[in-house]
Chains A and B, each alone.
Chain A
Amino acid sequence: MSQIETFYDVMRRQGITRRSFMKYCSLTAAALGLAPTMVPKIAHAMETKPRTPVIWVHGLECTCCSESFIRSAHPLAKDVVLSMISLDYDDTLMAAAGHQAEAALEDTIQKYKGNYILAVEGNPPLNEDGMFCIVGGKPFVDQLKHAAKDAKAIISWGACASYGCVQAAKPNPTRATPVHKVITDKPIIKVPGCPPIAEVMTGVITYMLTFDRLPELDRQGRPAMFYGQRIHDKCYRRPHFDAGQFVEAWDDENARKGYCLYKMGCKGPTTYNACSTVRWNEGVSFPIQSGHGCIGCSEDGFWDQGSFYDRVTDLTQFGVEANADKVGMAAAGVVGAGVAVHAAVTALKAAQKKTQSKKEEV
């Protein structure tokens, strides 16, 4: 272990100046939404820590999480992999295969017992003795349990690992099961989304390395810093919602003016994610900005909530359809009233969400 370098060693030896290093720490702090006073702390962490080993396993999935991860712009994926973590096993990217790949996995588990992070992309199917997903001739669920046993913590990447995602949509033919229902004795950080935003993924990892602690999690186990608010809360089209200005049909005049997509089925009002703030692919856009409503891909069971084009209010449990339409009709004259109605709706939904979350936990 003595030869293992710290981030700082690595960066300095790459010819990066102290000044650039500090600038890098500032940017990291900014990306994480931390105060400037935290910069020295980040710098200290990077100066003293060896690269944390990460084992990244794949169950039933589509690899969109890995694809998203390599899109990260700050920090760049190559910097994460070369300088921040030691990605010792990842069947999507590693050079070795077969026996040599399995040996790399064993070696990492033995050498870093209790000190590596297990990242899980996808989930284990439990039907057919687990043989709907085979790794090394055995059920994936065996590999998952084996790798989880000595992990320091587990990151459940994406909707698959966090909630089950598309293969767990009704009727869930393989009995695809989220990680936390199979591994119950380890801290698990859920980073949902299909996929999660790249900078959220690297932000979570960087946070853990920097502060040497798990991020603060909400009641569903998601990092509060990225999943604490709804897309609707921070949506740049929110003023149009409040003003009752809605897209009524695809490509209509209102769509071209960038009005609210609520009536086209946007799930922004019930989806907790950072899309409307961090945005996607280096902040270029996010679904609503590009004209399609949010499909709610970071929410549990989003595949089974009716059509993506049904209004959120069509879910009778919310019972706010009339209100929303009233907002639309009243808005031209009484914008203020619309805002008040919306605030009430928001409060109602927040309460609803809490109830749902509580049910989850039971």
Chain B
Amino acid sequence: MRPRRAARAGQYAALLGYLLFLAFPLLWLLSTALKSPRELGGPHPTWIPRHPTLANVRQAFAEQPLAHAALNSLLVALCTAVVAVLLATPTAYVMARHRSRLTRAATGWVVVSQAFPFVLVIIPLFLVLKNLRLVDSLTGLVLVYVVWALPFALWMLTGHVRAVPAELEEAAAVDGAGRLRTLVSVTAPLLAPGIAATALFAFVTAWNEFFFALVLLKSPERQTLPVILTHFIGAEGVADLGPLAAAAFLATLPSVAVFALVQRRITGGLLAGAVKS
């Protein structure tokens, strides 16, 4: 039994190492956010702030239009989630239920689309959106995000549709329910959690996205939260650390909260999409 106990101890030591590695930057962010400017300027920074303060939060809101940027981010993320799911659900349903050359091509595209560098897509999109006068507009950004979220949404939703047994639909048909009736009263309720998870995932990715927002949004009053956050870092890389940390911490809360809610389902959806194809 001795080597077994040694192995257990080794496992716990390794797990502890992982916990430390994963947690320490997060704790340091929180610690920095709670420190006063005087403390941040002084020598020997400590883990626990000597005089914890929330002044950085106030300072952060005063320095940059954070509330407005959060509103922009929320609007863009909500629209992206809703539109992506509305577009992807019917396609995913067909891709899962009917195998044809078309649906196989769509599945192939979903995989291939992951390999293209954004820069190759953003230049033409930028030119197209410019012609449509949608550069520096949130509508244009939502359009880009929907395109970008669609492949993954399709992938996840196809997995979720496959998880709904086709036999249930056939049974409903046998009982005399029409196609629409079957979809509404049998498939939709079973699919709802999967659709919700996909929508929330699209929400988080849009909330977090930086590159497209950086390229497309020029006016400060339209910029989203990640872009505004980079404004805290000056041209020479000098930053007001306290407000920067406070703002960064606040910007993370919504995505972590939403993500925690759906994480299990995302993993499930990924697996379902991957394994049963």
A binds B: no
